[in-house]
Amino acid sequence: MSTKGKIDSNILKNERLVKFINYVMKEWKKSLALKIMSDVFEQIKAKGHKNPEEIFERALENIMPKIEVRPKRVWGSIYQVPQEVKPKRQLALAARWILASARSKKWTVFSKYLSQELIEASEETGTAFKKKLDVYKMAEANKAFARFATHNKR
């Protein structure tokens, strides 16, 4: 039996990877998402990286935002208030940004662009990392409104 297009069962024990595969999945086609991720890992290996799982983990860690801005209404005005991001949402945002930047490229082979984006994210470059920096800049610019994060209306 051929091992091409298969992901090692040990890798599927990685909770982040399983969640990411679910984000890759479109129209409930998980087998296609698994094939895409196995192609991505093969392409990462082909580009000279020994451990694609490590590249994947490093890419997620580099993209996961620790802080974001959320709109908060205070006395009739809406402020962009910086707040901490919970770990579950960090993973969701990182996966969403990586996939959005890979999908924004011209469509010939999606796995090629996804592997390229993961490698760039692990090296702290690329579109997804730029998106994280933009969120941090926005939070820094609105730091003065952080006092409204726990503001209760009466």
**Largest Cα–Cα distance in the chain?**
67
* Domains of the chain, each with CATH number or no CATH: 11-150 (1.10.455.10)
CA distances from 119 to 25, 84, 144, 151 (A): 20, 26, 35, 41
- For the entire predicted model, the pTM comes to 0.84
Burial of 20: CB neighbours in 10 Å, binned 0-12, 13-18, 19+: buried
State the helix-helix crossing angle for 110-122 and 127-141, rounded to 10 degrees. 50
pLDDT band at 1, cuts 50/70/90? very low
Give phi and psi for 78, each to the nearest 5: -105, 120
Look at residue 131 and tell me whether its pLDDT is greater than 70: yes
For the chain, where are the E strands, in sequence order? Answer: 67-74, 77-84
> Tell me, what amino acid is at 53?
E
- pLDDT tens digits along 12-43: 788 899 999 999 988 888 889 899 999 999 99
